[in-house]
Amino acid sequence: MGQAGSERQHMTKVTHEFDLFGKHYALESGELAKQATGACVVRQGDSEVLVTAVVSKERKDFDFFPLTVDFIEKMYAVGRIPGGYLKREARPSEKATLTARMIDRPLRPSFPDGFRNEVQVVAMPLVADQEDPVDTVCVMAASAALTVGGVPFEGPLACVRIGRDPETGEYIVNPTYEERDVSDLDLELAGTSTFISMLEASGDEVSEEDMLDAMAFGQEAIAAFCAEQQAFIDAWVEANGPIEPKSYELDEPNTEVHDRVFAHYGEMEAALKDADKQSRMAKVAALKELVKGEFTEEERDAWHRAINVELKGLEKHAMREMVVETGERVDGRTATEIRPLMVKPDYLPLVHGSGLFQRGQTQVLSVCTLGMLNEWQRLDTIEPVDGKRYIHHYNFPPFCTGETGRMGAPKRREIGHGNLAERALLPVIPNEDDFPYTIRVVSEVMESNGSSSMASTCGSTLALMDAGVPLKRPVSGIAMGLIQENGKTVVLSDIQGLEDFLGDMDFKVTGTERGITAMQMDNKATGLTPEILAQALRQAKEGRAYILDAMLDAIPEPRTQPKETAPQIISLTIPTDKIRDVIGSGGKVIRGIQDDTGATIDIQEDGTVFIAGVGGAGEEAAERIRAIVKVPELGEEYVGRVVGIQPFGAFVELLPGKDGLLHISRVAKGRVERVEDVLNVGDEVKVKVIEVDEKGKVSLDRLDKPEAPASESKGHSGNRRREGSKPRTRKPGDHGNAQEQAPARKLRRHHEN
């Protein structure tokens, strides 16, 4: 082992504990993962995460910064064994992917321009106490790991989550899961003590003013965590000596290449002035090839990275100069102008709900599917969240940008954009008591030229309204941009792809007419002042209202009922002691109802029954269940079927599994010797309930009594009595008739008991 490796093995462990905003934290390094470039353990409460950073020794031959961030959930952190056949962690969950993106986004712009060494940051939760989330604190740990590793970047960095007590209005920093459940705001901010570079938010229709106030408070909280991180670094230096900055070769600008490429500024400006994305890209690509052709083969081999970097810089500079100097964008719009809209609800037949939303050359088809509550998505993560009943999925196939590419599992970008659209609509989704469905919306991006996640939000609103989901209020969304050039600042509404890629800010805002439901921001401009943010939110509000008006012109309100193709879901409550009757032995009864009606039935432990069926299937199944659990009441009338005959009367089935006794004295008008003389098994008879005893046994009276048949008696020998002869009278000590009547009395007693 070399000297440097030996020193790392003998470094002194340093722990810095501190309290901020009512919660306890700790940063620790020097014991775990000492062969990484840098490593840090961070704790909030009893939750603990190890974050490592490794920088490759060799510079990669790329014209971009190769940073990879992974968040690896470990089920042992919550004392669980992973599911599945392998019983080990496999592909990352959606939450793990979102957390990795949360760490990546503030780190990426903090590295110096021209950094080409590969960087991998890995966050591994070791303990998740089910009270304190482990996601936001990972940014602080990554920043500390890079710092103690001597990696050049603009730190310290930190990330905080801001919640709000809806009763007192007080802000909560890094709220527990329980505090988050009651908060009307969920705002995540990351950056330095003076600069916000990343933002994610969802809220219950929060006003622009309140959101700006929460962001200002969040910036103060970030500064406090950065100060504590600096205290940890100072303690590290005191224990282990000065941190030696590592030397990494950067891609330095090549003055000759810059001058020769930027000589084509006028041509690039002309190529960019085309509203059609594919045509503009073709012109720009042709110009870039022309410029490359002016370099010799030897120059291209020696300067290929520099040439590509400068060509990208030329395109960026021309676009930005055009906006700040002329006020005109590449497609001819003004700064606040929205691209042409096309809104088509009810776009597809047969599906439960659909909507096509197009803004400029960004087009999204959203499709809504309704299902039973038991079809909710179950989540197997380290967080104390069982699952969700509103699900949004976003797909970005390569054809939407006119390219070829891999189709398959969603990439990180798709998961992130889908989550944003899901958070945008979640505050207006009705609760399951008002709308007992699981709801899934899939947004298929058909064309993309920027703001596809906002088009997904708008298309999903259309699909939900078309499906008859009673949204509290419709939601629209818009993406805002920022250009800061030559000391001038321009806020752009409804940015397209080029303005996102070459601009300083991508700021997405969704909401209703009452307030904001979700936000997402990635910012590269260090001069992002509260005044600029306020202007961006004002323009976003105006743009959202304009788009929402166009949507409401096409579909003013949700359908009053789901479509005929959607399942009708009926909920009813049965006594818990009747659940076994509905299910039946081995599930025989409930399976029979489902097979006969085509409905789907889900019975909860508390007796709540959810029934889903297309057409009248659900109501038919509901009626059969109601019949099973119904208890006949005094005075009710039924048309029942005779299911059994005894000497003392007939048993009549009133409801499935519910019989009543029609006594022999009530089967006809007059005296009846034998029930079989009037009724047979299978006969239908109209009856009325005249008694229900304390044990639930039902006595009936026949409503349509016929005349009793002519009386015929039997002698002791069983022969018919001769016409005109006197009936035999019972004498003392004569037990013959008593013996004949004994079985009848026994059966009667059995019924009465």
pLDDT in tens, 275-306: 899 999 999 999 999 999 999 999 999 998 88
Residue-wise pLDDT for 314-349, tens only, equals: 999 999 999 999 889 999 999 999 999 999 999 999
pLDDT (0 to 100) of residue 711: 65
Binding residues for Mg(2+): 500, 506
Is the pLDDT confidence value at 155 over 60? yes
When the pLDDT of each residue in the chain is averaged and rounded to a whole number, the result is 89
Report, in angstroms and rounded to the nearest whole number, the Rg of the chain calculated over CA atoms.
Answer: 38
Exposure on the CB side of residue 505, measured as CA atoms within 13 A: 33
pLDDT (0 to 100) of residue 528: 83
pLDDT (0 to 100) of residue 712: 55
pLDDT (0 to 100) of residue 7: 52
Residue-wise pLDDT for 9-52, tens only, equals: 678 999 999 999 999 999 999 999 999 999 999 999 999 999 99
Residue-wise pLDDT for 398-453, tens only, equals: 999 999 998 988 999 999 999 999 999 999 999 988 999 999 999 999 999 989 99
Specify the residue for token string 């119904």: 630
Cα(459)–Cα(440) distance, integer angstroms = 13
pLDDT (0 to 100) of residue 440: 97
Residue-wise pLDDT for 462-514, tens only, equals: 999 999 999 999 999 999 999 998 889 999 999 999 999 899 999 999 999 99
| Mean pLDDT of the 262-268 span | 94
Q: Out of 479-493, 521-535, 580-594, 737-751, pick the least confident.
A: 737-751
pLDDT (0 to 100) of residue 375: 86
Residue-wise pLDDT for 65-93, tens only, equals: 999 999 999 999 999 888 777 888 888 99
Assign 737 a pLDDT band (cuts: 50, 70, 90).
very low
Dihedral of the alpha carbons of 371, 372, 373, 378, in degrees to the nearest 10? -70
pLDDT (0 to 100) of residue 739: 38
Is the pLDDT confidence value at 103 over 50? yes
Residue-wise pLDDT for 190-212, tens only, equals: 999 998 999 999 999 999 999 99
| Mean pLDDT of the 691-719 span | 76
459 touches 368 (CB < 8 A): no
649 burial (CB, 10 Å; 0-12 / 13-18 / 19+) is buried
pLDDT (0 to 100) of residue 267: 94
Q: Taking the model in full, what pTM does it have?
A: 0.83
445 touches 366 (CB < 8 A): no
110 touches 157 (CB < 8 A): yes
Is the pLDDT confidence value at 458 over 90? yes
**Close Cβ partners of 218 (under 8 Å, ≥ 6 residues apart):** 160, 162, 187, 189, 196
CA-angle at 613, arms to 609 and 619, nearest 5°: 65
Report the side by side order of strands in the sheet with 158-164. 171-173, 158-164, 185-191, 196-206, 516-523, 505-511, 476-485, 488-493
Q: Which residue has the higher pLDDT, 615 or 98?
A: 98
Is the pLDDT confidence value at 617 over 90? no
Q: Which amino acid is at 642?
A: V
pLDDT (0 to 100) of residue 62: 85
Is the pLDDT confidence value at 734 over 80? no
Is the pLDDT confidence value at 163 over 90? yes
602 touches 610 (CB < 8 A): yes
pLDDT (0 to 100) of residue 714: 46
pLDDT (0 to 100) of residue 577: 85
Is the pLDDT confidence value at 146 over 80? yes
pLDDT (0 to 100) of residue 8: 56
Is the pLDDT confidence value at 3 over 70? no
Distances in Å between the Cα of 197 and the Cα atoms of 11, 174, 200, 528, 541 are 33, 18, 11, 9, 22
Is the pLDDT confidence value at 751 over 70? no
Q: Which residue has the higher pLDDT, 379 or 714?
A: 379
Residue-wise pLDDT for 116-142, tens only, equals: 999 999 999 999 999 999 999 999 999
Helix axes 412-425, 452-466, angle to 10 degrees: 50
Residue from 676, 93, 710 nearest 419 by CA: 93
Is the pLDDT confidence value at 534 over 80? yes
Binding residues: 500, 506
